[in-house]
Amino acid sequence: MSETNSEMLTALIRLRGALQDAELPLELPGIEEQRTARREMIDQLEDYAIPRLMTIEAPLLAVVGGSTGAGKSTLVNSLVGSRVTVPGVLRPTTRSPVLVHHPSDVEWFGQDRLLPDLERVTHPTNDPDALQLVATEAVPAGLAILDAPDVDSVEERNRQLAAQLLAAADLWLFVTSAARYADQVPWGFLKQAAERSTAVAIVLDRTPDEAIETVSTHLARMLASRGLKDSPLFTVTEGKVDDQGLLPAHHVAEIRGWLESLASDVDARGAVVKQTLDGAIRTIARRTYGVADALAEQGDAATRLRADADRAYDDAIAAIVAASADGTLLRGEVLARWQEFVGTGELLKSLEDKVGWFRDRVVNAIKGKPQQAERVTVAVESGLETLILEHAEAAAERAEASWQQLAAGQGLLAAADQDLGRASRDLRRRAERAVRDWQQDVLEMVRSEGADKRSTARFLAFGVNGLSVALMIVVFAHTAGVTGAEAGIAGGSAVLGQKLLEAVFGDQAVRRLAERARRSLEQRITELFRAERDRYVVLVESLGVKPGVPDQLRDATRRIDDLRYAESKRGAE
């Protein structure tokens, strides 16, 4: 292999890898066209461009394709001079493609070469995933003829296989008939051949003698207008087939002679291969930019979907953190149970009195009320759980609504195995556990902070539970700006909690404990909502959209373009 071919081979393999990584899972406008393009490019790289470049001296592969009933199999048999492929009597015909080659060329058609995904067999089969190899000396060395399914078959698998085989050909031997030569589907394939600079020869088959001049002239004009004016055009007149289903030898003598001349002329054969290979590589490179752009759009859409979900849950976390610190929770059941615990109404009257006297009153009011402390704990638990559940439902609704605005998001939501517009079914249970764990955190903070004060009268009077609920109350009024009686009952209650704690631990310790308790609560809320958010995030991440692949595709394509340009400059010298 020449250095130039080696460099191009490396570039094509790199491009194939990038295309394989270029998943296009999101439903965006025009994406189906790019998915098809990507699949076709990978197939042509694997089926033709890479193996052909690796074995540039391999036999010329002529794929015989065309419309239903055009007589492809009969033509192949007649060219070979024996029945090597079975013409279809019933439509659609489902059978494996047949490759006929000279016995000395068998090495070129192993599983690791042409069309590697097709199993090699040496017997007729109806398996479309198999490639039947027929060795015969009737085919000259250096040439192989492949009978493909109908390009317009009613069976989708037949149509796909026909397209795949034609994309793997060095030369198209395209068969049509006087009755079918203007059909749309074959011309779609011929248009592709012209765009890719694929070497094509047209066989006008089954043509009555009296129609040959008229039809062939019209067909030649059609070919010229579609960029195929240099393609050889052969006509095969209607003729009676013999017992083996073969046309008279002279009916196909011109086509056979032309193929034999290609097989025997190394330069002519090489020119055909180079024309088709260069065209295939150029077309693949050109189409890659569209896939790269589509992939970049996929990345942008995935990023937006992720950001929308993040925003919904980040807002929910922020709202819960704010509500758990601005006095919102110091109302209803929590406030009522706290008042029972500290005797708020009586103590509020003493807020402006001396601190020492106030602390004594707090101690006297609370002493012997462990049951009320537990009721505060339960009320706090219920209030936090309700707050969490309400915001989780709202976040799920907002995230779903934002995804519904995009076709890509709609597709993901439809494919989800749960209703993402609602909070998880087990969120209530997880929220209960998270709140209880936080309350246990607070209890441990108080117990740890009071390690050297457990025998003091005030510590014993308040108890660990009493001090813990007081710390929770202080946390819940962190940003409420409460300064005294003017803040109302809730604010006053928070001040009482703070004074109660200061009576035991002092000012500095209380501020430190409150900050730790707030951070602990925020962390547990964040962890709780991470699981809710992940229901959305996992759908985005499962898409496998890799951010660097568009650049990899473009880089690989530019390398191919550079090599093609350098080769053209050398050829011009």
Q: Secondary structure of 261-322 in the HEC alphabet?
A: HHHHCHHHHHHHHHHHHHHHHHHHHHHHHHHHHHHHHHHHHHHHHHHHHHHHHHHHHHHHHH
Helix 507-541 crosses helix 266-323 at what angle (to 10 degrees)?
150
Is it true that the peptide bond before 92 is cis, omega within 30 degrees of 0? yes
Is residue 247 located within the same domain as residue 271?
Answer: no
Is residue 562 located within the same domain as residue 484?
Answer: no
The residue range of the domain holding 258 is 61-264
The pLDDT, as a whole number, for residue 155 is 85
Number of domains, the chain: 3
Whole-angstrom CA distances from 189 to 10, 172, 244, 419 are 29, 10, 31, 45
Closest CA to 445 of 500, 511, 393: 511
Quick check: helix, strand or coil at residue 544?
coil
Q: What are phi and psi of 90, to 5 degrees?
A: -95, 145
Closest CA to 302 of 32, 21, 24: 24
Is residue 94 located within the same domain as residue 233?
Answer: yes
Give dist(CA 502, CA 491) in Å, integer. Answer: 17
Q: Let me know: does 251 contact 19? Beta carbons within 8 Å.
A: no
The pLDDT, as a whole number, for residue 314 is 97
Q: What are phi and psi of 366, to 5 degrees?
A: -90, -25
Question: Does 319 fall in a domain?
Answer: no
The pLDDT, as a whole number, for residue 486 is 35
Question: Does 307 fall in a domain?
Answer: no
pTM: 0.75
Question: Does 311 fall in a domain?
Answer: no
The pLDDT, as a whole number, for residue 332 is 83
Beta bridge partners of 143: 60
Is it true that the peptide bond before 208 is cis, omega within 30 degrees of 0? no
Residue showing tokens 């309350």: 439
Instruction: Look at the alpha carbons of 205, 211, 213, 218 in this order and tell me if their dihedral is positive or negative.
Output: negative
Beta bridge partners of 121: 132
pLDDT digits (tens), the chain, 573 positions: 677 789 999 999 999 999 999 989 999 999 999 999 999 999 999 989 999 999 888 999 999 998 888 888 899 999 999 998 887 554 455 468 999 999 999 999 887 777 788 899 988 888 888 999 999 999 999 999 999 988 888 888 888 888 888 888 999 999 988 888 878 888 888 888 888 899 999 999 888 888 888 988 998 999 999 889 999 999 998 888 888 889 999 999 999 999 999 999 999 999 999 999 999 999 999 999 999 999 999 999 999 999 999 999 999 999 999 999 888 888 888 888 887 777 644 333 433 343 444 445 444 444 445 567 788 889 999 999 999 999 999 999 999 999 999 999 999 999 898 999 999 999 999 999 999 999 999 999 998 887 776 656 566 666 788 888 889 988 988 765 444 333 445 556 667 788 888 888 888 998 999 999 999 999 999 999 999 999 999 999 998 888 889 999 999 999 999 999 998 888 766
Q: Which CATH number fits the domain that encloses residue 128?
A: 3.40.50.300
The pLDDT, as a whole number, for residue 206 is 83
The pLDDT, as a whole number, for residue 70 is 84
Is residue 29 located within the same domain as residue 48?
Answer: yes
Question: Does 460 fall in a domain?
Answer: yes
Q: Let me know: does 528 contact 434? Beta carbons within 8 Å.
A: yes
Is residue 355 located within the same domain as residue 451?
Answer: yes
Q: How many CA atoms lie within 13 A of 386 on its CB side?
A: 12
What's the burial of 17, exposed, middle or buried (CB within 10 Å: 0-12/13-18/19+)?
A: middle
